[in-house]
Chain A
Amino acid sequence: ETGVTQSPTHLIKTRGQQVTLRCSSQSGHNTVSWYQQALGQGPQFIFQYYREEENGRGNFPPRFSGLQFPNYSSELNVNALELDDSALYLCASSHPHVETQYFGPGTRLLVL
């Protein structure tokens, strides 16, 4: 167990809808990163939040957005869902002076 939690575990949405995924970071970690893992692929970096500000973004469109709260928990929001958004979404937290990221169990999103 890493101490990083994510909710919900599974989610089914239809194309065009919006979804919010949540992540609680490990105690003492103020950096949260989000990754998308398509079936059979390695995780792809979406973005990172540090002290409530977006601090780095991967090759994802603006309909992928996020928030980080004062307690360092985070949300990933995806608008106008597309079929290709079906994936496992992983959240990872880290301490700014420690290079290792610790992952949550992920949220499996299915878009129909």
Chain B
Amino acid sequence: AQTVTQSQPEMSVQEAETVTLSCTYDTSESDYYLFWYKQPPSRQMILVIRQEAYKQQNATENRFSVNFQKAAKSFSLKISDSQLGDAAMYFCAYRSANPSYFGNEKLTFGTGTRLTIIP
């Protein structure tokens, strides 16, 4: 079974600065997807960024980028130019890409990192 570990329960960063959230995972599969989701106090889980394991290039979405290290099974999220609206719980998640499980797209989540932005 796959597991996802987020070892930083809480992080804080000064507004406009850069912060990196850590995530490690364990899997025996070679093809999978990794995600970062953001959950603000409104509770809605919002997709921040995703990475396909077969792609060596790190994904980037505006101020959000990842550092994907497949051999180390590490998937960190970097937020540049932090804004007050970035304050939220951030969850790292894993999904198998095994085609034999078509339709079985369950996400395995970590325990989350609470990010606080200091004005």
Contact = CB atoms under 8 A, between A and B. Distances in A.
B104 interface: yes
Which of A42, A92, A100, A106 has the largest count of B CB atoms less than 10 A from its CB? A42
Interface in B42-82: 42-47, 50, 52
A41 B33 CA distance: 21
A58 B44 contact: no
Contact of B44 (A42, A43, A44, A105): A105
Interface residues of A, number: 30
B109 interface: yes
A45 B111 CA distance: 13
Contacts of B42: 105
A45 B108 contact: yes
Contact of B33 (A40, A42, A99, A105): A99
A45 B106 contact: yes
Given A42-B111, A99-B33, A94 B105 contact: yes
Contacts of B47: 100, 102
Interface in B19-56: 33, 35, 37, 42-47, 50, 52
B105 A33 contact: yes
A103 B35 CA distance: 13
Interface stretch (A15-23, A48-56, A69-77, A78-86): A48-56
Which of A35, A48, A103, A108 has the largest count of B CB atoms less than 10 A from its CB? A103
B107 interface: yes
Contacts of A33: 105-107
Interface of B: 4, 33, 35, 37, 42-47, 50, 52, 91, 93, 95, 97, 101-112
